Each structure stands twice: as structure tokens, then as C-alpha cells.
Structure 1
Amino acid sequence: MEETIAGPETAPIPKQRGASFLDSAVRYIEERHWDVVPGTWLEAADGMLHCSCGQRACPLPGAHPAGEDWASRATGSATVTRRLWARQPNASVLLPTGRAFDALDVPESAGFLALARMERMELTPGPVTVTPDRRMLFLVLPGTSAKVPDLVRGLGWSPAALDLTTLGEGAYVAAPPTRFGSRGAVQWVRRPTPANRWLPDAEELVSSLSYACGRDR
């Protein structure tokens, strides 16, 4: 259960329990060799939580890049990471795609259906996250997302008909414990463990994901 802290005329700001943003970022670097970059953060004012970007109607409050040069600031150095988060300890943790991994993005309902199907087929997915926006992201080998449209067509589906998108070079995923404003935090559905250290190729998962997205329409 989360604790919150609040001051006069402010909205409650979730108080971190367990690993901090910095702790999580360093762990991703040291245990998985993933690059990380600090994103925006949440600020409390006028009884509401606002994104540090200053956009009142920010669609991803506290969970998106803090500048256009974000990709160039991503690092795989724990030392640099500690220095970056020392400037803003509540900055979100973003992981660039197209480097150590790509991501396949599907609706949450389809993601759980696909995971059940993968289990029956004895397939081992890599790490999987779910966002407060009810999206599930499956991490796969980098570069493989480019294959997905042809793989989907080969299964008899039109890529445009399925709510299945890919994130590769130039994109990112928000990693736990990043929060989407007051909507909640990104969570691991399948945590990074030694058992899923070796990421699957997209073609290992796309059949289950396409089937699930087709059923979810």
C-alpha cells in the first residue's frame, strides 16, 4: 500500500516505497545492461498533480522525455545515472528502444490472453510491463520489430486491423516505478529475471499476440 504526503493547497504526491527511481534505473543498468534516461516528473500545485513539462493537459504526465535531446542523454553508466537523478530524484525512468530491445505494444486484455496462450505453448516471453493506460509491452530482441508487419500478414491478418504496434529505434518505454500522473504506476507483469535474460525474437511471440489482438477487437 502506498503512503502519500500532502501540503497546504497541494494534491497528494505518491511517496515511493521500495526501490526509488534511481535505484531502479541503476538496477536496469547493472542487471540487464539497459540504457536509461530520466524523463519528466510530477509536481503538486493548486490541488492537482502536474507534469514538469508545464503542459496542463499533458497526456503522459510525469512519464515522457524531458527534452528533444533525450536519446543522446541515455546512458548505460551507473555513475552518470546517479549524477543525473541527483538533479531530480523523482524523474521518471525511461528505457530507449532499438538498443538492447524493441517492444511490442498491445491492449492489456489482449496481452493477458496472449500470455495464457504462450504458457500453453510453452513459450517463454521476455520482460513484460503494463501501463496505467491499460497497455501491455512485450520486450523482444532489437531490430525484430521491423519484421512484424510481414509476420502478421503471413498469419493472415492485416496489420492495420490489429491494435499491435512496435517500438524500435527513436522510441522508448516507461519502466517501473514510473507513474502516469494520478492514474498509477507502470508495473511488471513479467519481471526481468535470469530466466528471461535472453529476449525472444518477435516472430516467437507475434502469432500469440496477433491471435489475441484479433480476438480483442
Structure 2
Amino acid sequence: MDLDILFDSPIFGSRSLGPRGRVRTARCRTVAEYTQLWGWTAVLGGVELPPGSSQDQVHQAWQRCPAAEPRLRTGNGFDVLDVPHAAGFRALERMERMGVRPGPVLGTPGRALFLVAPDTAAALPDLLYRTGWDDAALDLGCHGAGGAVPAPPATDARWLRPPTPENAARPPEARLLLGALAYACHRGVPELVGRR
């Protein structure tokens, strides 16, 4: 998607940017997409860009920190369930078969990050208890208020399931994904298979 269409003018004006400038422009557009299109808070080198940040604010943040890796602030528009990469893929396959639609899903080295409804971090212990997974040794965590997760175009992050207008505005309730994620995490620990 060309974000210049969203903003009615090129983010960097009409000047020639060269290869490095084009990369920086693409990164800037991606962060602008997070704040303008999806309504998320992005962080660049300690500079927080809240939802609706203007193109000038995004551009200034990039100029101050041109090598910064973008991160998405958790706790406002979404929380993040964090599981091992292999468990995340197993859970995604299972959700597909069950007809469950996960929200956006990020992949980082060794981890899969499922964007879910805000306030999940506070409710996670109770959700695990109510679903019977509270006593299982699971490699399953949650990033909530005050946290941040890497986001593309960071070198170590990519979208496994990209955001869409539907799933970015209303990420799914964690209870809809938790069973599949907990089961996949449990199956990923060989000495725990068959035990609960």
C-alpha cells in the first residue's frame, strides 16, 4: 500500500533519495501505517509516536534515530501472547482447522507473538485457571501495559499474519486463542507430553 495516498503528499517530499533514502522512506511509511492506519503506538529509539501521529512527527523521529528498530507499545490497543515459534505455528494450523481467526501475529527469532485484546496480561492467570492450564508448565507469557514488541521492518521481526482493518482495530479476546496456544506449548515439551 502506498501511504502517500493516505497522507495526500509524499512523506519526504519529491526529492531524490537514493537507495539508503528509499529504505528509510519505506521504514518511515511502515511506522506511519502503524500509527495512522492501525491506531497503534510505535516507539523509535525511545521516541513514542502515539496513534494518529502526524507524518511530520514520524519523519522527525526517523531523523533523530535513523537506525532505530521500530517497536509497538503494548497495553493500549492490544496485548501480546508470547509463545515459542514452533508452538505458534502448531497453534496457527490448529486454529485454521477450527475456523478460529487470530489477530495479527508477529514472528521473531524463536518466538511467535499473537496480538490480542488489551488487558489480557492482567487476566491471564485467571484465564489459564478457568481453562485448566494453570498447573501446566507452559512457555507462554504476555506483554501488557508498558511493554513493547519488535515490529517490521525491524531486522528480527516479520508478520506471520499481517494486520488488516478488521483484526487491527479489534484484536481477538485471548480466551479464543488460549486453548490452542496452551495445547501447542504443552506438546512442545517432550517430557510433558501426555501429562497435564
TM range (shorter): 0.7 to 0.9
Paired letter, 2:30: S
Partner residue, 2:161: 190
Q: Which residue of 1 aligns with 2:117?
A: 141
Whether the 8 Å CA contact 2:103–2:171 is kept in 1: the answer is: yes
Q: Partner amino acid for 1:192?
A: P
Specify whether residues 101 and 88 from structure 1 end up closer, same or farther in structure 2 by C-alpha distance, changes over 3 A only: same
Partner of residue 91, structure 1: 68
Cα distance in 2, alignment partners of residues 208 and 154 from structure 1: 14
- Provide the secondary structure at the position in 2 that maps to 1:138: strand
Aligned to 2:11: none
Contact 1:102 1:139 in 2 (8 A): yes
Distance 1:168 1:118 in 2: 23
* Residue of structure 2 equivalent to 1:56: none
1:20 correspondence with 2:31: no
1:148: how far off? 1.6
- Code of the residue aligned with 1:148 in structure 2: it is L
Q: 1:37: how far off? A: 1.3
CA deviations on 1:21-77 (whole Å, 9 max, x unpaired) are 2111001112101111103xxxxxxxxxxxxxxxxxxxxxxxxxx4xxx6xx34221
- Taking only aligned residues, the RMSD between alpha carbons, in angstroms, comes to 2.0
Out of 150, 155, 172, which is 1:174 matched to? 150
Q: In structure 2, what is the equivalent of residue 80 of structure 1?
A: 57
- The percentage of aligned residue pairs carrying the same residue is 43
The structural deviation recorded for 1:83 is 1.1
SS in 2 for 1:130: strand
Quick one: distance in 1 between partners of 2:25 and 2:159? 14
Gap runs ≥5 in structure 2: 1-19, 190-196
Once the two structures are overlaid, the 10-residue window that deviates more, 79-88 or 165-174, is: 79-88
Partners of 2:28 and 2:50 lie apart in 1 by 13
Secondary structure class of the residue paired with 1:104: strand
Q: How many residues align?
A: 166
Structure 1, unaligned runs of 5 or more: 1-14, 40-65, 180-184
TM-score (norm 2): 0.78
What is the alpha-carbon distance in structure 1 between the residues aligned to residue 76 and residue 92 of structure 2?
Answer: 24
Query: 2:103–2:167: 8 Å Cα contact kept in structure 1?
Result: yes
For the residues of structure 2 that align with 1:123 and 1:201, how far apart are their CA atoms? 11
Give the drift of 1:195.
4.2
CA contact (8 A) 1:21 1:91 kept: no
- Partners of 1:157 and 1:196 in 2: how far apart? 26
Could you list the structure 1 runs, at least 4 aligned residues long, displaced by more than 6 angstroms after superposition.
none
Deviation at residue 160 of structure 1 after TM alignment:
6.3
Q: Secondary structure at the match of 1:106?
A: strand
SS at match of 1:161: coil
The reply to whether residue 37 of structure 1 matches residue 14 of structure 2 is no
